[in-house]
Amino acid sequence: MNKLFDSYWALRITALVLALLLFFYAKAQMDVGQTSTTNPQMDIITDVPLEAYYDKENLIVSGLPETVDVTIEGPMQIVLKTKLAKDFTVFVDLNQLLIGEHRVEIKHENFSDKLDVSIDPKVLDIVIEEKVTEEVKVEPELNNQMIAEGYELVGMSAEPSTVLVTGAKSIIDSISYVKATINGEDEINESFKKEATVKVLDNNLNKLDVLIEPATVDISIDVRPYSKEIPIVLRQKGKPKDGVVISSLVAQTKQVEVFGPKSVIDPLTRLEVEFDISDIDESGTYKVKVPLPNGAFKQSPETIEVQAQVIKTATEPEADSDAEEEPVEETKPANSPVSNSKPSSDKSPVKNSKPNSDTKTDSGSESPQPEAGEPKVEEPAPQEEKQAEEEEIPVEEEKTLQ
């Protein structure tokens, strides 16, 4: 054995065999590494922006998605590099197309030739239309349930009141509502101003894909306490004083404004105001407090003025006194002097009747008959004579027979 390794040629042959084994081992390892790097790797890149080339100043294209999904397949190193760098472009070129409906294929560029690229969706159905801009009025919107109880919405306004809406002509023609809605408020009990986003809707309340300028407006909300004007009805209370008659009571204010919840105020049809007449003794204007209805917050005015007309009457005489009698005015005959005749003992006024023939005077003589053409004479009672003298009422002198 030692002699074998001492041989020069034996050593050479052994070295050559070892060298060949090492060479084939290294080559096998290199082939394995190269094969593993050349195996295809697949990956999906989502939400890739889609570029569209067309006349954006005068045309509007509908049917274009904002993003697409791109699937790439190839060597792992190239796939990873492409996904991280994202230096590629996905686009549609519409410059050569006319207004109308078209089906176009999505194209790409700046991908490695060693990659297999597919795009989802691959084709698009689009519509090219004329670009139109229109000025429309903004309608403020607020849910009435957001108003606090006892308050009401007076009005709403938007600033600016109009916006510019730009889109395809067919979409602009389908606009039914342009609204700016106030959200997030609750129990509104005072006026305020808030910014709101403008929405453009069709007849079915679907949001339309248009450009709005400005996109937001300021909404002013005006609220106030809920109120209603209620008619006033006067009602007398108490008993008037002796010798006082209430001729009329007229309220100077016909209605009062009552504030409170709608459920409390709306059923009210009138408001009764009591007026105490027991202390009234002369005509004039009196202030009366108006009662506040149950559940109401306040009212205006709180007091009203009532115009009272009073008639004073004479008090009745005592039972044992005679009723006051009116004086009798007698007609003075022509060329007849006036004299005071002796009053009769009777207190009642003398009726205008023909005297009896057997009636005696105080002197015992019979009462003379009045001559033809002379008026009949009535003798006043003593009280009537006194009153006639005070009021300077002439009394016709009786004509006596000579």
- Given 178, 202, 225, the domain boundary residue is 225
What CATH number is attached to the domain comprising 244?
2.170.120.40
Q: Are 241 and 181 in contact (CB under 8 A)?
A: no
Q: Work out the number of other CB atoms within 10 angstroms of the CB of residue 145.
A: 6
Query: Has residue 31 been placed in a domain?
Result: no
Using DSSP's 3-state secondary structure scheme, residue 387 falls into helix
Domain hosting residue 197, numbered range: 138-225
Domain count, the chain: 3
Indicate if 209 and 266 belong to the same structural domain: no
- Given 312, 345, 370, the domain boundary residue is 312
State the pLDDT at residue 307.
Answer: 87
- CA gap 99, 97 in Å, rounded: 7
Measured CA distances, 277 to 288, 303, 311 (Å): 12, 17, 13
State the pLDDT at residue 248.
Answer: 83
Indicate if 54 and 93 belong to the same structural domain: yes
Pairs from 323-327 (Cβ < 8 Å, separation ≥ 24): 325/349, 325/381, 325/383, 325/384, 327/380, 327/384, 327/387, 327/388, 327/391, 327/393
- Given 225, 246, 268, the domain boundary residue is 225
Query: Has residue 381 been placed in a domain?
Result: no
Indicate if 221 and 231 belong to the same structural domain: no
State the pLDDT at residue 103.
Answer: 95
Q: Are 296 and 265 in contact (CB under 8 A)?
A: yes
Which sign does the torsion angle of CA 55, 58, 62, 68 carry? positive
Measured CA distances, 261 to 294, 296, 322 (Å): 11, 7, 66
The tens digit of pLDDT for each residue in 139-184 reads: 999 888 888 888 888 899 999 999 999 998 889 999 999 999 988 7
Indicate if 279 and 244 belong to the same structural domain: yes
Indicate if 104 and 167 belong to the same structural domain: no
The tens digit of pLDDT for each residue in 46-70 reads: 999 999 999 998 999 989 999 999 9
What CATH number is attached to the domain comprising 46?
2.170.120.30
Query: Has residue 331 been placed in a domain?
Result: no
Indicate if 166 and 109 belong to the same structural domain: no
State the pLDDT at residue 282.
Answer: 84
Query: Has residue 308 been placed in a domain?
Result: yes
Residues of the chain under the 70 pLDDT cut: 1-6, 31-39, 185, 314-402
Indicate if 215 and 257 belong to the same structural domain: no
